[in-house]
Structure 1
Amino acid sequence: MADNKAAGGQTDTLQGTDVAELVVRYLEAIGVEYVFGVPGGAVEPVYNALARSARRGGPRAVVARHEAGAAFMAEGYTRETGRLGVCIATSGPGATNLITGVACAYDNSIPMLAITGQPSLPSFGRGALQESACTGVNTLGMFRHCTRYNSLVSHPDQVESKLVSALMRTHRAPYGPAHLSFPVDILRAPAPSSWLNYDLRSLLEKPSLLDINVVRQLAEEIRRADKIAIILGGTCGEATEAILQLAELTNALFVTTPDGKGLVNPRHHLYRGVFGFAGHYTANAILLDDPDVVLAIGVSLGEWTSAAWCDTVLNNRLVHIDVDDEHLMRSPMARLHVRGRISSVCEMLVDILRGDQAKAAERAGKISLRSIEGMLREPNKYESDAVPIKPQRLMHELSRHCPPSTRFYADAGNSTAWAIHYLQARDRRISHQHDFGRTHPELGERRHDHSGWLRVLMDFAPMGWAIGTAVGGARGNPECPVVCITGDGSYLMSGQEITVAASEKLTVLFVILNDAALGMVKHGQRLAGAEATAFELPDIDYRRLAESMGIPGFLIRRPEDFDSLDFDAILRRRGPTLLDVRIDGEEVPPMSLRMKTLGTEQ
């Protein structure tokens, strides 16, 4: 099939081929390289097809240790490559284990295809092992609540239309996962004698849709404004270049949401930090400084990206630009809604405003530069020599030692808070070549459009997410080093996935913030004046746990221990490495926003 590209409407034959083979051929045709999952009897035909596919250079199986980890890996692969992540699980508990990862992709708008198995159709309702159809534990019903497309394939002639529908739905806003469930006898059934060779490349192409009249109206709003602020959100990956040009054309100060931080260089002369959870006072300041217009671009306006629905954003100065109607529905008070593909909207704005450089130059003289350290809540702890190690100092060391091409994944909990506020990229490219006479010695490596240097979760945020997504991201782009920042609680949940990185020989540095506690729970209880309970974890030497798996591990007790590590060698090694970092568990992460929304702020 992959050789008959763009042959829409023609038929081809699959003599002697089963339905499972047809499914894998379709995945191959759209450029899928890996299928992440855990095998089982109900999906054995798919694994047989993947084995044949791997021999001819097509998609191959990557075996996760838990189905949730498989879904996280598929998500990490999508975030890094822009290609569709695919995960697979067997029937019953395999499917229910997969749901957490699929739900995470759904709530964070990540395209994904999830495939699950079922017992054979004739056994439905008869108490088959791990039955999960409508007559058993109804996994199809469960997936309905966390997918954009969800269907049981009950006849071989349905395969093609349902698979293409599922693939198309993952590529249209609002983005998210699709789920197909196959009875094992359908997977083994002969493929249809003829099949339509859809032009998948055109069907899955992102449309460059925008309302030209509304964009022109926005351009006039911008021209009339003397002071403009931009909030850059986490879904702006392919549009970041155009947004930076727009900021420079208008000399608009810009901030990012926590999930948008990784899309820009924090040294950009117009950047003022993170707005929202674990953010910077400098970001709040520009929104409190009465801008005439606030452009929220690709911002979901959920709890963490709106600073708990702060009225400094949700007011009639807001212009909300997004392709996702679900995001736009959260800003009914906005002055203007601009619906369309973000890159298309911003590129058109740049073209319209390109002649306004004189006004931009006038604004430029009013902008003062600000250092990264000037944004931090406790800059003195960023380079503290105290023992145990301050988490702030850990973020400084990772920022200092990791090369510009590093992808950081920060797990749910304290790891996310510390990374959002304190982690910085090193020597990264910051803007388009049109920079109106400015020079920036910090220009560096160019990132992939679909990826950022920091990945965090904003909505559905399961512990252990970063462990799987780091492996999936590394599998998608093995040439860039990956750093997974996780807590000891998250590692105890999902740390076994490190062995996938070992099996696949992937360069992933796992950094465990070890304070023998569920840190965000502990500090949340203290800040709320609640009972101090149920947060303790055992004191474990994770270095030795890694070594027992044949993985290099290091115990880091004091700041000078970092200088004894050969980071260059670690981040070139074809395989994972683990750092067990004993952090000061008394340091309170920047989590006041979370306490406010829980109603426990004191």
Structure 2
Amino acid sequence: MGALGISEKPKQQLQADAEFGDLLIAYLEQLGVEYIFGIPGGAIEPLYNALARSERRGGPRAVIARHETGAAFMADGYARNTGKLGVCCATTGPGATNLITGVASAYENNIPMLVITAQTALSTFGRGAFQESSCTGINTVGLFEHCTRYNTLVSHVEQFESKLATAVMTAFQSPSGPVHLSVPLDVMRAVTQTKTPAYNLSDLLERPSLIDDLAVDKLYEEIISAKNPVFLVGDEASEAIGSILSLAVEVGARLLVTPHGKGLVSPYHPLFRGVIGFAGHSSAKEVLVDKSVDLVVAIGASLGEWATDGWDTKWLLTKRMIHVESAEVNFTRSPMAKLHVRGRLSSIFERLVSRYEGDCRVKLHAIDAGVPNKTHVEDVEHERYFTIDDEEGYLSNASPIKPQRLMRELSNLFPPNTRYLADTGASFAWATHYLHPYDRRLAGKRDAHGGLFRAALEFASMGWAIGSSIGTALARPGNPVVCITGDGSVLMNGQEITVATQEKLPVVFVVLNDGGYGMVKHGQRLTGAENIGTEIPETDFAAFAKAMGVESHVINSPDDLLSLDIAVICNRQGPTLLDVRIDRDEVPPISVRTSLIAQ
């Protein structure tokens, strides 16, 4: 490799008169990116011309959203499930501003994303051009400043490659996140004499496995000397989850997850005690309240409000915590921790497992923990080692169907490789507490992006799951995808369902139809606020789906749900919508959130 990381390897040849778009696509091919999500428009037409040429030869292609926010959500879902760069684009003016909610969501959830927006031609800046969004108009570069890790205007075609390389490298740095390039129309149209990409981005993104050896040694000693350890797993632990689970089995550490980390640990793992924080389980809280617990190892957990029972400093954020992170910025949320361990999580836990297995002096709790000495158990019983709030509702045969029973049956009906996404609002609360996918994997090597449950917290955009489920289905062909959303979210972003139709994706959209903004309604009641602004007129979402050419079913009772032919639904060349008329009086498990609001 030459100076500045410029590759000396053979590179893909471009056509003799390559434009900006062709060069961009050549770089995306280096990274294995298959899709660019967005909506075409006049100012970004050159990029779409290049995408048309790329699609004809079998290269990266365009996926056309219905709203630019949906495009960003799709790129988010694709990135989460592949580990690759999510890419979305928009034309100038309102196209660019429409992206901002989706990009802000990716920023809060550390999703590596490349955002390309167009500008009117440089020569028109300041002259009142149609949809001008330069520094003399609606300054879109300025608007993206606070929701991106890197943000710049490409004012000359000669700047493009170096700025793109910087952007992509920044997107994958810690903390990762979205990056933005704003490109004027005349720069997009400029012909470059470059026939090959100057950089090999794959080489530049190769990350060394950095480890703080001293801190890891201290962590090892703390774990093996602990009498009653607990591992708290967050979503950023996904790349190391196999080693984390193996180590937990070896030392008999009970397992808790944050709401973000739900889906990384099988809910039927003998060491699993539930979700801590928002919509969590009392059994998880009981573990932390147990005074015999002498060590809590928080792994890849950002420790925000929803993951900490509202910053609980009595039982969670205490001096018995060790915080293990790749993103050092998260250490600011655990100043009380007895030890901070920084580095790549997969490398840290692979070393811990290897050292434990090779240390003949250490023979701790593997037998006493009662954990099967297997990594993939085919015959694990559906036995829960955690508690749920409402067992009666979970088993209820009532009509209208209880949301608790709905969540129970979803995980029973769909195959074990199903990916579930839960939208912001009551949908997320119900799914976090009551949806328990049957993941048989207890330990050992795991897909680094294999979480079966996803949500977008912190920024918590309604409708995120609708777009993200489409990106997930494109990233995970052959795996069923279930999007759990609410009537309010569908009325915001339901138009993206037609993208699943166009792409022939068998996504199942489960709409919790309760005629209102459920989380807000119940939150107002629980906090003593005025009851205002929560009602939605009765909406037939099954008819709404059929109007878009989508197969749909109305679900009023458990029998309606159980009568569905799930095999047919999962193999359909297109989406299915379930209009689930839930019991609107059931209160979702949101007490952690409402108590904080009341305070």
Select the residue among 396, 399, 406 that pairs with 2:411: 399
Separation in structure 1 between the aligned mates of residue 164 and residue 274 of structure 2, nearest angstrom? 42
Q: Residue 318 and residue 373 in structure 1: after superposition, are their counterparts in 2 closer, same or farther (change >3 A)?
A: closer
3-state DSSP of counterpart to 1:405: coil
Give the TM-score of the pair, scaled to structure 1.
0.94
Q: Residue 580 and residue 373 in structure 1: after superposition, are their counterparts in 2 closer, same or farther (change >3 A)?
A: farther
Separation in structure 2 between the aligned mates of residue 257 and residue 117 of structure 1, nearest angstrom? 38
Which string of whole-angstrom CA distances, capped at 9 and with x for unpartnered residues, describes residues 486-537 of structure 1?
Answer: 0000000000100000000001000000000100110011001111110000
**Once superposed, what is the RMSD of the aligned Cα atoms?**
1.9
Stretch moving more, 189-198 or 528-537 = 189-198
Separation in structure 2 between the aligned mates of residue 211 and residue 292 of structure 1, nearest angstrom? 23
Which string of whole-angstrom CA distances, capped at 9 and with x for unpartnered residues, describes residues 189-218 of structure 1?
Answer: 011446653222221123311101110011
3-state DSSP of counterpart to 1:186: helix
Which string of whole-angstrom CA distances, capped at 9 and with x for unpartnered residues, describes residues 61-83 of structure 1?
Answer: 00000000000000000111111
Give the letter aligned to residue 66 of structure 2: R
Select the residue among 360, 369, 379 that pairs with 1:364: 369
Q: Residue 44 and residue 331 in structure 1: after superposition, are their counterparts in 2 closer, same or farther (change >3 A)?
A: same
Separation in structure 2 between the aligned mates of residue 166 and residue 269 of structure 1, nearest angstrom? 43
**Offset, 1:299:** 0.3
Separation in structure 1 between the aligned mates of residue 579 and residue 197 of structure 2, nearest angstrom? 53
3-state DSSP of counterpart to 1:235: helix
Separation in structure 2 between the aligned mates of residue 568 and residue 422 of structure 1, nearest angstrom? 23
Select the residue among 396, 409, 418 that pairs with 2:430: 418
Q: Residue 60 and residue 366 in structure 1: after superposition, are their counterparts in 2 closer, same or farther (change >3 A)?
A: closer
Corresponding position: 1:309 with 2:311: yes
Separation in structure 2 between the aligned mates of residue 378 and residue 119 of structure 1, nearest angstrom? 57
Give the letter aligned to residue 141 of structure 1: G
- Name 1:437's counterpart in structure 2: none
3-state DSSP of counterpart to 2:18: coil
Which string of whole-angstrom CA distances, capped at 9 and with x for unpartnered residues, describes residues 562-593 of structure 1?
Answer: 12210111011110000000001111100011
- Name 2:50's counterpart in structure 1: 49
Separation in structure 2 between the aligned mates of residue 427 and residue 13 of structure 1, nearest angstrom? 45
Which string of whole-angstrom CA distances, capped at 9 and with x for unpartnered residues, describes residues 311-368 of structure 1?
Answer: 212111110001112211111111000011111111111122223652224752799x
Which string of whole-angstrom CA distances, capped at 9 and with x for unpartnered residues, describes residues 431-488 of structure 1?
Answer: 228xxxxxxxxxxxxx632131100122111100000000111011221010000000
Separation in structure 2 between the aligned mates of residue 395 and residue 251 of structure 1, nearest angstrom? 30
Separation in structure 2 between the aligned mates of residue 426 and residue 13 of structure 1, nearest angstrom? 47
Which string of whole-angstrom CA distances, capped at 9 and with x for unpartnered residues, describes residues 87-136 of structure 1?
Answer: 00001110010010000000001111000000000100111111111111
Q: Residue 541 and residue 370 in structure 1: after superposition, are their counterparts in 2 closer, same or farther (change >3 A)?
A: closer
Separation in structure 2 between the aligned mates of residue 500 and residue 260 of structure 1, nearest angstrom? 28
Where structure 2 has 5 or more consecutive residues not aligned to the other structure, the ranges are 373-380
Corresponding position: 1:26 with 2:27: yes
State how 1:163-174 maps to structure 2 within 5 Å.
Answer: 163-174=164-175
State how 1:468-487 maps to structure 2 within 5 Å.
Answer: 468-487=467-486
- Name 1:120's counterpart in structure 2: 121
Separation in structure 2 between the aligned mates of residue 262 and residue 6 of structure 1, nearest angstrom? 39
Q: How many residues align?
A: 582
Stretch moving more, 354-363 or 158-167 = 354-363
Separation in structure 1 between the aligned mates of residue 339 and residue 211 of structure 2, nearest angstrom? 14
Which string of whole-angstrom CA distances, capped at 9 and with x for unpartnered residues, describes residues 135-189 of structure 1?
Answer: 1111101111011111100001100000011111111110101110100100000
- Name 1:444's counterpart in structure 2: none
Give the TM-score of the pair, scaled to structure 2.
0.94
- Name 2:375's counterpart in structure 1: none
Give the letter aligned to residue 335 of structure 2: P
Give the letter aligned to residue 8 of structure 1: E
CA contact (8 A) 2:281 2:388 kept: yes
- Name 1:390's counterpart in structure 2: 402
- Name 2:582's counterpart in structure 1: 583
Give the letter aligned to residue 302 of structure 1: G
3-state DSSP of counterpart to 1:359: coil
CA contact (8 A) 2:18 2:195 kept: no
CA contact (8 A) 1:551 1:577 kept: yes
State how 1:327-476 maps to structure 2 within 5 Å.
Answer: 327-354=330-357, 355=359, 358-361=363-366, 363-364=368-369, 371-372=383-384, 374-432=386-444, 448-476=447-475
CA contact (8 A) 1:157 1:192 kept: no
Give the letter aligned to residue 389 of structure 2: R
3-state DSSP of counterpart to 2:262: helix
- Name 1:511's counterpart in structure 2: 510
State how 1:143-182 maps to structure 2 within 5 Å.
Answer: 143-182=144-183
3-state DSSP of counterpart to 1:358: coil
Select the residue among 324, 327, 349 that pairs with 1:324: 327
Give the letter aligned to residue 351 of structure 2: M
Q: Residue 466 and residue 58 in structure 1: after superposition, are their counterparts in 2 closer, same or farther (change >3 A)?
A: same
3-state DSSP of counterpart to 2:304: coil
CA contact (8 A) 2:424 2:457 kept: no
3-state DSSP of counterpart to 1:174: coil
- Name 1:440's counterpart in structure 2: none
Q: Residue 362 and residue 431 in structure 1: after superposition, are their counterparts in 2 closer, same or farther (change >3 A)?
A: closer
Separation in structure 2 between the aligned mates of residue 159 and residue 203 of structure 1, nearest angstrom? 17
3-state DSSP of counterpart to 2:579: strand
Separation in structure 2 between the aligned mates of residue 9 and residue 162 of structure 1, nearest angstrom? 21
- Name 1:78's counterpart in structure 2: 79
CA contact (8 A) 2:27 2:197 kept: no
Separation in structure 2 between the aligned mates of residue 570 and residue 358 of structure 1, nearest angstrom? 49
Where structure 1 has 5 or more consecutive residues not aligned to the other structure, the ranges are 434-446
State how 1:73-222 maps to structure 2 within 5 Å.
Answer: 73-193=74-194, 197-222=198-223
Separation in structure 2 between the aligned mates of residue 40 and residue 133 of structure 1, nearest angstrom? 17
CA contact (8 A) 1:466 1:485 kept: yes
**Offset, 1:15:** 2.2
CA contact (8 A) 1:171 1:206 kept: no
Stretch moving more, 486-495 or 419-428 = 419-428
3-state DSSP of counterpart to 1:144: helix
3-state DSSP of counterpart to 2:365: helix
CA contact (8 A) 1:235 1:299 kept: yes
Separation in structure 1 between the aligned mates of residue 506 and residue 447 of structure 2, nearest angstrom? 18
Give the letter aligned to residue 492 of structure 1: L
CA contact (8 A) 1:20 1:49 kept: yes
